[in-house]
Amino acid sequence: MKSVNVVIALACGLGLGLAAQASPQHAHESHPAHAATTAAPAQRWAPDAPLSEGMRRAHVAVDELRHYEMGHMSAPMAVDRATEVEQAVTYMFANCKLAPEPDAALHGILVPLMSAAQTLKADPKKVSAVAEMRAAIAHYPQYFNDPGWDKPAPAVHEMHDEP
């Protein structure tokens, strides 16, 4: 867990540094914490392969958490899905190679996504963290032109509670 927090801290620092370089006149204090730091581009950016893969993994895990919101999934299973989100975000931080502007926009998505996943893991009673994860992921197609993003994930029916 400590290594994940270190990776996030380094990635956030890098992303904020790049955002500051890309737009030096922008005052970081002028927007709320964890808000997307870049306005949606006129033409959305193409994601690299690790970004597409990582976002799909996170999206599937968050989509499955809707069962937890409805009370059809156990807390341990919800924690497992939050862990999957964390792993997907860590994978993206480690493997995505984007230009500074799309990278800054991506960090505006991934930081709140990771934060909400960690909140749910720390306290599974905070079901509102699922909505926060869903809200963070909802920004992805505004910034990135990822073919097939809007296609539904394959339907997999799993048992939503421990046997």
List beta partners, residue 43.
none
Structure pTM?
0.72
Q: What are the residue boundaries of the structural domains of the chain, listed by start?
A: 1-17+57-149
> In this predicted model, what pLDDT tens digit does every residue of 68-98 receive, in sequence order?
999 999 999 999 999 999 999 999 999 999 9
Q: What is the 3-state secondary structure (H, E, C) of 31-75?
A: CCCCCCCCCCCCCCECCCHHHHHHHHHHHHHHHHCHHHHCCCCCH
The pLDDT value recorded for residue 149 is 87
| Residue in 3, 2, 11 with CA at minimum distance from that of residue 113 | 11
Mean pLDDT, residues 106-129 taken together: 97
> In this predicted model, what pLDDT tens digit does every residue of 131-145 receive, in sequence order?
999 999 999 999 999
Give 76's contacts (C-beta < 8 A, 6+ positions apart): 162
Q: What is the mean pLDDT of the chain?
A: 79
DSSP state of 127: T
CB 22 within 8 A of CB 59: no
